[in-house]
Amino acid sequence: MKKLYTEMQYREYSKLCERMVNIDDILEGAKIHFEINEFLLNNNIIELAQEQMDSRMEQEDTDEMNGVKKEGKVIEFRKSNK
C-alpha cells in the first residue's frame, strides 16, 4: 500500500509520540495528546495514514530490539561456545 504521509510528517509525529511515551505527568500527557491531535488535523492526516505511521514506529522498535539498525544493516551478535 502506498504511504499516505511524508517523511517530514512522520518525523514530527514520531517525536510527539516519543514525548508522550516518556511522560509521567498526566496533565503534560494530555497536553501532548492534544498537540498530536492538532498536528494530525493541521496536516490533514487521515486515520489510515496515522495507522501506517504507528505501524512503522512499531516495526522500527521491533527491528531495533532484534538488532537491526535503522539503515537496514543487521548487527551480528557473537554466539558463545560455552
Give the pLDDT confidence of 46-82 residue by residue, as tens digits.
999 999 999 999 999 898 888 876 555 555 556 666 5
Whole-structure pTM value: 0.76
- Specify the residue for cell string 558463545: 80
Contact 17, 57 (CB under 8 A): yes
CA distances from 3 to 10, 23, 51, 74, 76 (A): 10, 29, 11, 24, 30
